[in-house]
């Protein structure tokens, strides 16, 4: 067990902690995972009997083309056969007008690549609903039975599979099923447009007028003496005049004879290509994600998916002029560079929400962001916080509300917990910030098994 975490626990205990809370914290400490992006040089530790590759395949997962001819689909060009997303969505809207529920869902899978985080994968999906048998629900700790063969006694463990990455080594992160999916790439901007138009996410009324420096353009603005791309005649002339004044070669300023000028090589001023800050970005979004041990499984997926959707929506609202920062936290917080890392980092460790809020404030302060940006903060968590009464968190949150345009907190509750009874929700309600400043802070609580329409509903709640 991590000594540092245990120290924190001891500290918390000294301040008073209920039995259940202590249990929760201990469970997180015991979970000895590490953060990290799956598939990045990590060797998966094998269990006593070795790992079991992938999920156990069932009878109907086998088929001739793959088994006999090793023929599997390459999926890149799938969208060639697809109708455009717009067309499908239009059809879907038509359904609503005809009085039938919508059937197409968008954006089940988001897989931002490492570079160019602008790309997201949009998968129009649907399900054909029929009367079919449900699998009788096994208790939570029991997976489905399957077949097998080989040696071993009854009861013997023959392999194990890490819980947090259902497909070991595949490095695909949450949301990726084991079967190949037919994907359609689209930019986050398009997704934002679709979200705004088709799912009726609100348009931002006041987008703010602050302009700020984030983008770079390249222009011939820098000056250089002696060599360069374009001669800056005016500047050069000024230099020459100056040189000649120093040389005493310009006796009468009212009667200048340029033909007598002496020209030093360093008098020639050229323009050269330079990186310039551009004055256009308007919004700064902080995405905060709890990646503590308690965030195992579906909750993380929900939170990140919602963040992608929010990001896309903001991107559209601010006509691409959105800057995003990604912050992960357990008991301490760190900023990561890109969405890929943000999205794929594994969960482990304890939970201190305050660390993330503090980091946001620090960044805002040190970079003086509040002056130039509309600042949005979205925080995804399972509602668990070691700081059970928010004694540290709430002051930090209030500080954040002073400069942020909107703070949106998403709580994805684990199944099997009482509804609306998480630490974060409790202390937020107690603080009455939600009712006092509804324009600044919003809370959305959803269950672990929420689907995508629910996610979009949640976004409406967070940003409206």
Partner 1 sequence: MELIDQHTKKIMEDCKELARAAGLRFQDESLEYIVTNRDLLEISPKVMIPTLYDYWVHDVEVLREKGKYELYPGNPYETVINTRPAISFYNDNNPDWLNVMIFYHVLGHIDFFQNNIYFQHTWDYDFTGQALSDKRVIARLRSEKNKWVDYVIEFARGIDNLVGFHDTLSRKNHVNLDRQSKKLNFYFDIFLQSVIKARINVYVQEIERYNRCIDENGALGQDIFFSEIEKKHPEFATLFQKSLVKKPRGRKDLLQFLLEHSEFLNKEENRWMKTVIQVVRKTSLFFQPQIRTKIMNEGWASYWHEQLFLKDKRIKGHEVEFARVNAAVTSLPRVGLNPYALGMRLFFEIEEMADKGRYDYEFQRLLDTEARKKFNADTKQGRALIFAVRENYCDSMFISTFLNQEFINRYNLFVAGKRLNKSKMVWEYYIKSRNVLDYQKMIQDSLYHPPHITVKNNGSGKGELYLVHHFEGKPLVNEFIANTMMGIEYLWGKPVKLETSVVASQPGPQADASASGISSLMPGAKGMPEIVWRRVVYTMDNRKLSKSEI
Between residue 112 and residue 141, which ones bind partner 1 under the rule CB under 8 A? 123-137, 139-141
Instruction: Name the residue nearer to partner 1 (CB basis): 146 or 229.
Output: 146
| 252 lies in the site for partner 1, by CB under 8 A | no
Counting other chains too, the contacts that 45-50 makes at CB distance below 8 Å and 24 or more residues apart are 46/160, 47/157, 47/159, 47/160, 48/157, 48/160, 49/152, 49/156, 49/157, 49/158, 49/159, 49/160, 50/158, 50/159
| 78 lies in the site for partner 1, by CB under 8 A | yes
Report how far residue 378's alpha carbon sits from residue 395's, in angstroms, rounded to the nearest whole number: 17
Residue among 151, 206, 252, 432 that touches partner 1 (CB under 8 A): 151
CB of 294 to partner 1, least distance (A): 8
- SS3 of 346, please? coil
CB of 57 to partner 1, least distance (A): 4
| 172 lies in the site for partner 1, by CB under 8 A | no
Residues 6+ apart with CB under 8 A from 292: 28, 329, 330, 331, 347, 348, 349, 350, 351, 384
From residue 268, give the alpha-carbon distance in Å to each of 223, 224, 237, 372, 454.
Answer: 10, 8, 8, 38, 65
| 73 lies in the site for partner 1, by CB under 8 A | yes
Residue among 6, 17, 56, 241 that touches partner 1 (CB under 8 A): 56
CA proximity to 363, closest of 408, 400, 390: 400
Kindly determine how many residues on this chain lie close enough to bind partner 1 according to the rule CB under 8 A: 94
CB of 105 to partner 1, least distance (A): 8
| 255 lies in the site for partner 1, by CB under 8 A | no
Residue among 4, 182, 260, 277 that touches partner 1 (CB under 8 A): 182
Q: Which of residues 286-345 bind partner 1 (CB under 8 A)?
A: 296
Report how far residue 413's alpha carbon sits from residue 138's, in angstroms, rounded to the nearest whole number: 20
CB of 389 to partner 1, least distance (A): 20
Instruction: Name the residue nearer to partner 1 (CB basis): 349 or 408.
Output: 349
| 34 lies in the site for partner 1, by CB under 8 A | no
Q: What sign for the dihedral angle of Cα 176, 95, 83, 81? A: positive
| 39 lies in the site for partner 1, by CB under 8 A | no
Residue among 4, 40, 71, 453 that touches partner 1 (CB under 8 A): 71
| 453 lies in the site for partner 1, by CB under 8 A | no
Residue among 34, 43, 115, 144 that touches partner 1 (CB under 8 A): 144
Spatial contact of 403 and 370, defined as CB atoms under 8 Å apart: yes
Quick one: tokens of 217? Answer: 């353009």
CB of 422 to partner 1, least distance (A): 13
Candidate segments 82-90, 220-228, 309-317, 324-332, binder of partner 1 by CB under 8 A: 82-90
Report how far residue 398's alpha carbon sits from residue 422's, in angstroms, rounded to the nearest whole number: 20
Residue among 113, 162, 171, 395 that touches partner 1 (CB under 8 A): 162
Residue among 34, 154, 248, 265 that touches partner 1 (CB under 8 A): 154
Residue among 7, 94, 203, 421 that touches partner 1 (CB under 8 A): 94
Instruction: Name the residue nearer to partner 1 (CB basis): 10 or 20.
Output: 20
Residue among 177, 202, 226, 251 that touches partner 1 (CB under 8 A): 177
Element (H, E) at 436: helix 433-436
CA proximity to 325, closest of 290, 278, 359, 371: 359
Instruction: Name the residue nearer to partner 1 (CB basis): 92 or 444.
Output: 92
| 10 lies in the site for partner 1, by CB under 8 A | no
Quick one: tokens of 320? Answer: 């691409």
Question: What residue has token string 């201190």?
Answer: 352
Candidate segments 83-91, 192-200, 208-216, 425-433, binder of partner 1 by CB under 8 A: 83-91
Instruction: Name the residue nearer to partner 1 (CB basis): 293 or 408.
Output: 293
CB of 376 to partner 1, least distance (A): 31
Q: Where are the alpha helices (DSSP H) in 286-418?
A: 298-317, 339-344, 353-366, 369-372, 393-401
Instruction: Name the residue nearer to partner 1 (CB basis): 161 or 224.
Output: 161
Q: Which of residues 355-414 bind partner 1 (CB under 8 A)?
A: 414
Element (H, E) at 11: helix 3-14
Ordered strands of the 441-447 beta sheet: 333-336, 322-329, 283-290, 374-381, 406-413, 441-447
Report how far residue 234's alpha carbon sits from residue 270's, in angstroms, rounded to the nearest whole number: 10
Fill in the DSSP letter of residue 351: -
| 419 lies in the site for partner 1, by CB under 8 A | no
């Amino acid at each position: 067990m991590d000594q540092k975490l245990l120290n924190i626990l001891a500290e918390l205990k000294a301040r008073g902690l209920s039995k259940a809370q202590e249990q929760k914290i201990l469970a997180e400490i015991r979970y000895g995972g590490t953060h990290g992006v799956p598939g990045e040089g990590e060797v998966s530790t094998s269990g006593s009997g070795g790992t079991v590759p992938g999920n156990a395949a069932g009878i109907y997962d086998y088929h001739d083309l793959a088994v006999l001819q090793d023929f599997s689909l390459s999926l890149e060009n799938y969208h060639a056969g697809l109708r455009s997303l717009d067309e499908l969505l239009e059809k879907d809207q038509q359904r609503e007008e005809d009085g039938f529920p919508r059937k197409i869902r968008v954006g089940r899978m988001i897989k931002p690549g490492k570079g160019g985080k602008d790309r997201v994968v949009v998968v129009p999906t649907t399900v054909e609903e029929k009367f079919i048998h449900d699998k009788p629900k096994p208790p939570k700790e029991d997976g489905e039975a399957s077949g097998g063969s080989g040696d071993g006694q009854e009861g013997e463990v023959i392999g194990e599979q890490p819980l947090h990455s259902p497909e070991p080594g595949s490095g695909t992160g949450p949301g990726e099923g084991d079967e190949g999916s037919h994907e359609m790439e689209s930019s986050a901007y398009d997704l934002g447009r679709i979200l705004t138009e088709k799912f009726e996410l609100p348009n931002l009324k006041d987008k703010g007028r602050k302009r700020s420096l984030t983008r770079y353009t390249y222009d011939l603005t820098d000056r250089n003496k002696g060599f360069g791309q374009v001669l800056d005649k005016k500047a050069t002339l000024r230099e020459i005049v100056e040189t000649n004044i120093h040389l005493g070669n310009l006796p009468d300023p009212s009667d200048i004879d340029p033909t007598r000028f002496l020209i030093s090589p360093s008098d020639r001023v050229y323009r050269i290509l330079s990186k310039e800050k551009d004055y256009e970005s308007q919004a700064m979004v902080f995405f905060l994600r709890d990646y503590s041990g308690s965030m195992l499984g579906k909750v993380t997926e929900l939170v990140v998916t919602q963040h992608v959707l929010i990001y896309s929506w903001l991107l559209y609202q601010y006509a691409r002029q959105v800057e995003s920062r990604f912050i992960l936290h357990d008991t301490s917080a760190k900023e990561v560079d890109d969405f890929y890392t943000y999205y794929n980092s594994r969960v482990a460790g304890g939970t201190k929400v305050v660390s993330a809020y503090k980091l946001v404030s620090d960044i805002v302060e040190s970079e003086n962001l509040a002056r130039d940006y509309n600042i949005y903060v979205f925080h995804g968590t399972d509602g668990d916080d070691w700081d059970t009464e928010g004694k540290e968190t709430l002051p930090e949150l209030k500080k954040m509300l002073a400069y942020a345009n909107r703070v949106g907190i998403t709580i994805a509750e684990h199944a099997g917990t009482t509804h609306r009874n998480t630490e974060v929700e409790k202390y937020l309600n107690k603080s009455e910030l939600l009712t006092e400043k509804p324009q600044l802070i919003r809370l959305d609580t959803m269950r672990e098994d929420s689907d995508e329409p629910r996610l979009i509903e949640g976004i409406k709640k967070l940003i409206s």
